[in-house]
A and B are shown apart, each in its own frame.
Chain A
Amino acid sequence: EAQVTQNPRYLITVTGKKLTVTCSQNMNHEYMSWYRQDPGLGLRQIYYSMNVEVTDKGDVPEGYKVSRKEKRNFPLILESPSPNQTSLYFCASSLRSASGPIEQYFGPGTRLTVT
Chain B
Amino acid sequence: QVHLQESGPGLVKPSQTLSLTCTVSGGSISLGGYYWGWVRQPPGGGLEWVGYIYYSGETFYNPSLKSRLAISPDTSKNQFSLLLTSVTAADTAFYYCTRARVGHSSPFDFWGQGTLVTVSS
Do A and B actually bind? no
Residues on A lying within 8 angstroms of B by beta carbon are: none
